[in-house]
């Protein structure tokens, strides 16, 4: 919670409130006025017209000094103070330097948690809101591994891949959420607990949107440009052809960021977006260490200390030693899932024997059942 706002912060908020998050209009106004406080005076309507500001924004300036509009603005300011731990304008020394090169950078960021974290090296993990079990697991594994190496995992607090990425990075207190609404609400609402966990584990939640901003469809591509701009690279963990995460990849490409795509089953619609990205030049990765290598960054994992620890950590694709009869069945399972009758045919076993073996694999954490399908699980998860 902020006890007070500086006069400069209020000037930014006033203009941002009047132009309703229009980046183009904000920067036209900012460039014209030496002192932003002058921009919202009642006699500036003609100047706004000459600047080519949208007529709706000009009308809001006309109405701004009416009692009703002033009450609305004061309510907005009160919510900002209540919900924000920090406010960063783009000329503030703590504003993330990663965003500065871009002409569409957010003029103002409202945040909860520690603002300094935004300056830390970040990798974005994005993907489908309705992923497969395999996709969730991969997003979690990559986030867990990369956060262990010192990277902050940046994502959009959405369902599915975003959620799994935040959860994986939470294990090392290294995650940042970028929201598509104001700080006064959480979208989706069921992620309120996840949002609180991020804050409780030394994370940060940010948005460019004012309080009262609803989760409208057009806000999420805007959020995605911040996710990619903050990050050294973007990993698309799983995505269908029309997935919103491809928009993040598009932003990343325009920003000159590295784009990584994790491949999947060639017949799975869940992975078609990733395969399309790979065809278009994204870097294919099947282990998080490849992301670090491709970014060519000096990180914790390269130190002598970590080398000693690494020998104690099983790689992600290490399989435990299993009896021959269980190994055969485990190798038959895949990430997409198979019906019991398919497995009976393939294994040439009776149903009782097969179900007994599947139960053994489940107890070992190597198999799971979902909607009548048996799926392989990652060893150790």
In a domain, 98, yes or no: no
Q: Per-residue pLDDT tens for 25-36? A: 999 999 999 999
pLDDT of the residue at 315 = 46
178 with 275, same domain: the answer is yes
Residues 304 and 339 in one domain: no
The pLDDT of residue 329:
87
**Does residue 220 sit in the same domain as residue 142?**
yes
Q: Which of 112, 62, 56, 55 is nearest to 83 (CA)?
A: 112
The answer as to whether 107 is a domain residue is: no
Contact between residue 270 and residue 245 where contact means Cβ atoms under 8 Å apart = no
d(CA 273, CA 287): 19
- The 10s digit of each residue's pLDDT in 280-326 is 999 999 999 999 988 875 444 343 334 444 444 444 444 456 788 88
Last residue of a domain, one of 35, 68, 83: 83
Asked whether residue 148 falls in the same domain as residue 277, the answer is yes
pLDDT in tens, 25-66: 999 999 999 999 999 999 999 999 999 999 999 999 999 999
Domain carrying residue 134: 115-310
Listing DSSP states for 21-87 in one string gives T-HHHHHHHHHH-SSGGGGGSGGGHHHHHHHT--HHHHHHHHHTTSHHHHHHHHHHHHHHHHH-SEE
**Same domain as 78, residue 157:** no
Judgement on whether residues 131 and 268 belong to the same structural domain of the protein = yes
pLDDT value for 320: 56
Give the residue among 201, 202, 183 at the shortest CA–CA distance from 116: 202
CATH number for 332: 1.10.10
Query: What is the rounded distance in angstroms from the CA atom of residue 152 to the CA atom of residue 173?
Result: 8
Establish if 219 belongs to a structural domain.
yes
The pLDDT of residue 261 is above 90:
yes
For residues 331-352, average pLDDT: 82
Together in a domain, 278 and 363 = no
> How many other C-beta atoms are found inside a 10 Å radius of the C-beta of residue 133?
16
Same domain? 72 vs 11 = yes
Angle (deg, nearest 10), helices 288-295 and 133-148 = 50
- What is the value of pTM for the model shown? 0.79
Report the CATH number that the domain containing residue 163 is assigned in CATH. 3.40.50.450
Overall domain count for the chain:
3
In a 3-state reduction of DSSP, which class is residue 19? coil
Q: Are residues 306 and 337 in the same domain?
A: no
Same domain, 79 and 139: no
Nearest to 250 by CA among 219, 285, 224: 224
- pLDDT, averaged across the chain: 89
């Amino acid at each position: 919670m902020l006890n007070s706002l500086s006069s400069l912060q209020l000037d930014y908020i006033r203009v941002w409130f009047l132009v309703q998050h229009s980046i183009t209009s904000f920067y036209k106004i900012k460039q014209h006025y030496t002192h932003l406080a002058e921009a919202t005076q009642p006699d500036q309507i003609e100047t706004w017209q000459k600047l080519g500001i949208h007529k709706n924004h000009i009308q809001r300036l006309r109405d701004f000094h009416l009692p009703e509009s002033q009450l609305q603005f004061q309510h907005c300011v009160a919510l900002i103070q209540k919900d924000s731990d920090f406010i960063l304008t783009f000329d503030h020394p703590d504003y993330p330097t990663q965003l500065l090169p871009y002409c569409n950078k957010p003029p103002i960021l409202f945040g909860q948690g520690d603002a300094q974290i935004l300056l830390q090296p970040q990798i974005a993990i994005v993907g489908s809101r309705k992923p497969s079990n395999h996709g969730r697991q991969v997003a979690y594994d990559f986030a867990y591994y990369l956060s262990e190496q010192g990277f902050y995992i940046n994502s959009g607090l959405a369902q599915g891949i975003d959620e799994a990425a935040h959860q994986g990075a939470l294990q090392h207190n290294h995650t940042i959420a970028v929201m598509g609404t104001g700080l006064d609400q959480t979208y989706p609402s069921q992620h309120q607990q996840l949002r609180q966990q991020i804050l409780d584990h030394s994370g940060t939640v940010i948005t460019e949107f004012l309080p009262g901003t609803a989760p409208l469809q057009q806000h999420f591509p805007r959020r995605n440009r911040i996710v990619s701009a903050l990050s050294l690279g973007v990993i698309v963990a799983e995505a269908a052809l029309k997935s919103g995460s491809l928009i993040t990849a598009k932003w990343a490409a325009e920003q000159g960021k590295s784009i990584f795509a994790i491949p999947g089953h060639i017949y799975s619609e869940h992975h078609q977006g990733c395969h399309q990205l790979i065809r278009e030049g994204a870097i294919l990765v099947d282990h998080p260490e490849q992301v670090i290598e491709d970014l060519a960054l000096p990180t914790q994992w390269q130190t002598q200390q970590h080398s000693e620890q690494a020998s104690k950590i099983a790689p992600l694709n290490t399989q435990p030693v299993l009896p021959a009869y269980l190994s055969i069945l485990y190798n038959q399972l895949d990430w997409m899932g198979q019906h019991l009758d398919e497995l009976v045919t393939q294994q040439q076993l009776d149903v009782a024997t097969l179900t007994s073996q599947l139960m053994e694999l489940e107890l070992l954490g190597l198999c799971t059942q979902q909607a009548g399908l048996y799926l392989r699980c990652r060893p150790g998860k």
